[in-house]
Amino acid sequence: MTGFSRVRQDRSISPQPQTFIIMNSLNGGTPTIAVSDTHILGGIDDVCSDVVIPGFAAKSAAGQIFNNPFLHTVTEMYGGGGSYYARHNTINSIYYNIGGGSVTKYCLGAGSPVSLIATAYKDNVEEIQNLRNNVLLLAVNKIDTTSTSVLEDLLEFKSTIDTMSHPIATVYDLSRKYRRAALQLYNARRSGKRTGRGERTLGHALATTWLTARFGFAQPCYTLMNLHQAYLERDRDSPTRRRVGAGDFLTFDNSRSVTEGYYQYQVTDKCRQSFNSWYLYTAKKPFTDTFSGHLGLRLKDVPKGIWQVMPSSWVVDRFVDISSFIGAGMKLSDPTIKILSSGYTYKGEYTYDIQVVGCSYPEFTYTITGDKLGSTGYSLQRVPGTPTFSDFLPRFKNPIKGKSFSQNLDLLSKAVANLTSSAPRVY
């Protein structure tokens, strides 16, 4: 990539000084200036930096791949106005503001106390980093996936076999087992109604019925669907360029009410963090090249498949995603896959402001309507580069968050089936 860096600030607006004045009227006399201060308020900080490629259109049309870094940040600051009125409880003395300036800034004094500092982002830095790594991991696992999914499903038949007493008579035996589980569920429900003590039996019946259907009936259907999809995609799977990607976001809101000294404040403190990753690549040995490709029996697909047929590996993956880590490692180390460009885009948005909403100084009665003093902003960044294995190291995670209802029901059913049975069975 050849080009030159460019930084633009042409849309920035400098903040402007505004004079804040509080007048005092004693015994109804002529008002005098009690406080006079200058507040620098408002303004927009808009900075964009990127890499300019001379003749980009022609070079791109000729097939060149560009992976340019890019950064655009915008911060819009606001504040000013509000009303301040204070009457002394024993003396005929009143204070009020005129002109511009910020009532909230005046009440804050020289600076903001620690309790008013923005925390929505900094308290969640680790979770935001995990979000970035997870997005990178999801996208790299989508590279060249057609045949991989077939192998995983074929090996996953072990979960189906584990639910049967006689694997040879698959359909008959599975139907019989499911009927037995359904009858157990029905009888447990009747028993619970009759005696009022069927909770344990009903829970176990529900769990075993769900697990039999989910890992018995559903898995063969998924495998047949993937085999059919692989057949349909056999002509599309070619050495031409292919692009995959993944994205996700998190929001954090730490807005709060705070009392500092005599003043009460309302703090708006929230942010949204989003990542999108991409990989542009070619596969030198596409799906149609070999018989093993048709069935997804390539050597690089085996490690992930072996892990997935280990007992309860899917439960482990809910806490530490070993399966995705293995898949990403095999994709990045595969010599038949050439990554043409990769990276991720990041967008961070935030709103942070402070507003004084009251004062409880004992000698005065206050009426304050403070202005919102703060800023909103966003940062849009494109970061090129292929991640390394350290970006994908397995991390402990919330086993519930981000999962579908059926996936969470899998985990709950497994726990119930094992805790409520005298002879626990690992499905």
Q: What angle do CA 169, 171, 172 make, to 5 degrees?
A: 65
Question: Would residue 368 count as lying in a domain?
Answer: yes
Q: What was the pLDDT predicted at 143?
A: 82
Establish if 425 belongs to a structural domain.
no
Report yes or no on 284 lying in a domain.
yes
Domain count along the chain: 1
What is the C-alpha to C-alpha distance for residues 363 and 385, in angstroms, rounded to an integer?
A: 63
The reply to whether 219 falls in a domain is: yes
Pairing mode of beta strands 337-359, 70-78: unpaired
Task: Classify burial at 348, counting beta carbons within 10 Å of its beta carbon; exposed 0-12, middle 13-18, buried 19 or more.
Answer: middle
For residue 167 the two structure tokens come to: 């694997």
pLDDT at 294: 46
Q: Tens of pLDDT along 352-404? A: 999 999 999 889 999 998 899 999 999 999 988 887 777 776 666 665 665 65
- Are the C-beta atoms of 334 and 281 separated by less than 8 Å? no
Instruction: State pLDDT tens for residues 233-259.
Output: 554 445 567 888 899 999 999 999 999
The predicted pLDDT at position 76 comes to 94
Which is nearest to 324 in space by CA: 395, 426, 248, 276?
A: 395
Q: Is residue 110 part of a domain?
A: yes
pLDDT of residue 266: 94
Q: What is the percent of the chain with per-residue pLDDT over 70, rounded to a whole number?
A: 60
- Structure tokens that stand for 251 in this block: 């929001």
pTM above 0.75, yes or no: no
Q: Give the total residue count for the chain.
A: 427
User: Residue by residue, what is the 3-state secondary structure of the chain?
Assistant: CCCEEEEECCCCECCEEEEEEEEEEECCCCCEEEEEEEEEECCEEEEEEEEECCCHHHHHHCCCCCCCCEEEEEEEEECCEEEEEEEECCCCEEEEEEECCEHHHHHHCCCCCHHHCCCCCHHHHHHHHHHHHHHHHHHHCCCCCHHHHHHHHHHHHHHHHHCCCCCCCHHHHHHHHHHHHHHHHHHHHHHHHHHCCCHHHHHHHHHHHHHHHHHHHHHHHHHHHHHHHHHHCCCCCCCCCEEEEEEEEEEEECCEEEEECCEEEEEEEEEEEEEEEEEEEEECCCCCCCHHHHHCCCHHHHHHHHHHCCCCHHHHHHHECHHHHHHHHHHHCCCCEEEEEEEEEEEEEEEEEEEEEEECCCCEEEEEEECCEEEEEEEEEEEECCCCHHHHCCCECCCCCCCCHHHHHHHHHHHHHHHCCCCCCCC
Residue 254 included in any domain: yes
Are the beta carbons of 351 and 374 closer than 8 angstroms?
A: yes
What pLDDT, on a 0 to 100 scale, did the predictor assign at position 290?
Answer: 43
Is there a domain that residue 367 lies in? Answer: yes
The per-residue pLDDT for 195 is 47
In this structure, is residue 427 part of a structural domain? Answer: no
pLDDT in tens, 301-348: 677 767 766 666 767 776 777 777 887 877 887 777 888 888 899 999
- The answer to whether 239 and 283 have CB atoms below 8 angstroms apart is yes
Which residue range is the domain that position 55 belongs to? 4-419
- Contacts for 152 with CB less than 8 Å, ≥ 6 apart: 296, 301, 304, 305, 308
At residue 232, the pLDDT reads 60
The stretches in the chain having pLDDT less than 50 are 147-149, 163-169, 194-199, 235-237, 286-295, 423-427
